């Protein structure tokens, strides 16, 4: 745990807080969660029980599909001695027009924490404003913080450090994954270089805030349309789907616009020899990444998927414990 700072949980620093974006958190909070996730993973692998949240209930609203987020939160709550309730927006009154405000107020009367996967980020902000229990972002159009917390944990496990490494993100940089990676990297002193075509650049406000955070820890954020330039000597290579949930109608155009931004063997030759490849999944082999990379020796995507469970348990424990 060499560069994970010492952070005592004496005052339960995240208790009753929301987990909406990594940009709103402190570096200490993020590093604390990674450190605790490592501990929780160790305990679970040793087969010991972890009744940290006995009788606690997490409500989970999904307005978009999910495999990993749903299952890892549900299993995580169970392993911590609590319970999770899956609520598809199609089946609850939210889908018939009940307001976000009323939904948050009502569910807060039943459960100890809420997770929501939704569209515009403003929806989760509104939801959190009216919820009286902690709210966790399970993905919005612009952020995916629980995924990136798991990504940082995975990188730490494989590289033994976070600060000073170079991460390269290739592809659609105006999406939830790229934004949370930018915010997360900046908070842990990791350098991030982004390669994307014109029109797919990250949100300017997120970039500017992250650049200021990165500066404090001495790391840099670079953006260019040339993937070879950006991937040079990268320790970590990341991509995501060209078409995110909710953008299906733009699918054909995105495939054309982003075709030069595929992570493949000829591009990865410019990364460091021991680079690791991350993808939050689900992946489209042959589009944003070739099978030779995602199924190859550099890929750690299934460790990354597993780490959703461990990282989120640390979040649940900190917020609801
Ligand atoms: N990576 C991720 O969030 O996966 P799901 O969409 O399956 O939850
Ligand atoms: N950017 C992707 C991530 C899926 C986990 C999407 O929003 O569909």
**Tens of pLDDT, residues 265-285:** 999 999 999 999 999 999 999
Residue 128 and residue 205 share a domain:
no
Average of per-residue pLDDT across 45-74: 97
Tens digits of residue pLDDT in 91-133 = 999 999 999 999 999 999 999 999 999 999 999 999 999 999 9
pLDDT in tens, 179-219: 999 999 999 999 999 999 999 999 999 999 999 999 999 99
For residues 170 and 295, membership in a common domain is answered with yes
> Does residue 241's CB lie within 6 angstroms of at least one atom of ligand 2?
yes
Gap between the Cα atoms of 4 and 43, Å rounded: 19
Q: Domain check: are 171 and 300 in the same one?
A: yes
284 and 152 within one domain: yes
Mutating to test ligand 1, I would choose from 238, 281, 307 the residue with most ligand atoms within 8 A of its C-beta, which is 281
Query: pLDDT per residue over 293-320, tens digit each?
Result: 999 999 999 999 999 999 999 999 999 9
pLDDT band at 12 (very low <50, low <70, confident <90, very high): low
Residue 5 lies in a domain: no
Residues 176, 95 within the same domain: no
- Ligand number, closest to the Cα atom of 251: 2
* Residue 98 domain-assigned (yes or no): yes
What pLDDT is attached to residue 279?
98
pLDDT in tens, 150-163: 999 999 999 999 99
* Structural domain boundaries enclosing 163: 146-304
Q: Report the percentage of the chain scoring pLDDT > 90.
A: 94
First to last CA, the chain: 23
285 is catalytic: no
Residues 46 and 188 in one domain: no
Q: Is 121 a catalytic residue?
A: no
Sheet architecture: strand order including 191-195: 221-224, 191-195, 166-170, 236-239, 276-279
Per cent of the chain over pLDDT 70 is 96
Question: Could you tell me if residue 55 is inside a domain?
Answer: yes
Residue 6 has pLDDT above 90, yes or no: no
Cα–Cα–Cα angle for 319, 137, 95, rounded to 5 degrees: 120
Ligand 2 centroid vs 309 CA: distance in angstroms? 18
pLDDT reported for residue 244:
98
Residue tagged active-site, from 143, 308, 310, 312:
308
- Which ligand is nearest the CA of 72, by number? 1
Active site residue 268: no
Are 172 and 298 contained in the same domain? yes
Residue 15 counted as domain residue: no
Same domain for 126 and 100: yes
Quote the ligand 1 centre to 64 CA distance (angstroms). 10
Q: For residue 175, tell me if it sits in a domain.
A: yes
Q: List residues near ligand 1 (CB under 6 A).
A: 66-69, 139, 147, 280-281
Domain of residue 80, CATH code: 3.40.50.1370
* The pLDDT of residue 4 is above 60: no
- Residue 15's pLDDT is 84
- Number of domains the chain contains: 2
Q: What's the 3-state SS for the chain?
A: CCCCCCCCCCCCCCCCCCECCCCCCCHHHHHHHHHHHHHHHHHHHCCCCCCCCCCCEEEEEECCCCCHHHHHHHHHHHHCCCEEEEEECCCCHHHHCCCHHHHHHHHHCCCCEEEEECCCHHHHHHHHHHCCCCEEECCCCCCCHHHHHHHHHHHHHHHCCCCCCEEEEECCCCCHHHHHHHHHHHHHCCEEEEECCCCCCCCHHHHHHHHHHHHHHCCCEEEECCHHHHHCCCCEEEECCCCCCCCHHHHHHHHHHCHHHCECHHHHCCCCCCCEEEECCCCCECCCECHHHHCCCCECHHHHHHHHHHHHHHHHHHHHC
221/104 same-domain check: no
Name the more confident of 6 and 111. Answer: 111
Is residue 104 domain-resident? yes
Q: Are residues 35 and 97 in the same domain?
A: yes
Task: Please state, rounded to an integer, the average pLDDT across all residues of the chain.
Answer: 95
Given pLDDT bands bounded at 50, 70 and 90, which one contains residue 10?
low
């Amino acid at each position: 745990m060499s560069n994970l700072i010492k952070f005592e949980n004496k005052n339960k620093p995240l208790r009753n807080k929301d987990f909406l974006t990594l940009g709103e958190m402190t570096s200490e909070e993020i590093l604390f969660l990674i450190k605790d996730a490592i501990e929780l993973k160790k305990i679970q692998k040793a087969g010991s029980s972890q009744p940290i949240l006995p009788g606690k209930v997490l409500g989970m609203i999904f307005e978009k599909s999910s495999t990993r987020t749903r299952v890892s939160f549900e299993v995580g709550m169970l392993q911590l001695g609590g319970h999770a309730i899956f609520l598809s927006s199609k089946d609850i009154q939210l889908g018939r027009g009940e307001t976000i405000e009323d939904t948050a107020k009502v569910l807060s009367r039943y459960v100890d924490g809420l997770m929501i996967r939704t569209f515009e980020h403003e929806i989760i902000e509104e939801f959190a404003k009216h919820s009286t229990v902690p709210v966790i972002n399970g993905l919005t159009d612009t952020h995916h913080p629980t995924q990136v917390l798991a990504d940082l944990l995975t990188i730490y496990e494989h590289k033994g450090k976070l600060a000073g490494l170079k991460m390269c993100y290739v592809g659609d940089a105006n999406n939830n994954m790229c934004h949370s990676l930018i915010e997360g990297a900046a908070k842990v002193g990791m350098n991030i270089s982004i390669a994307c075509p014109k029109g797919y650049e990250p949100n300017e406000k997120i970039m500017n805030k992250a650049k200021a955070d990165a500066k404090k820890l001495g790391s840099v954020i670079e953006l260019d349309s040339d993937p070879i330039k950006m991937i040079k000597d990268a320790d970590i290579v990341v991509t995501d789907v060209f078409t995110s949930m909710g953008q299906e109608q733009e699918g054909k155009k995105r495939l054309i616009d982003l075709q030069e931004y595929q992570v493949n063997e000829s591009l990865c030759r410019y990364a460091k020899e021991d680079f690791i490849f991350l993808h939050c999944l689900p992946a489209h082999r042959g589009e944003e990444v070739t099978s030779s990379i995602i199924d190859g020796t550099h890929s750690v995507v299934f460790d990354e998927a597993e780490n959703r469970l461990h990282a989120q348990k640390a979040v649940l424990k900190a917020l609801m414990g």
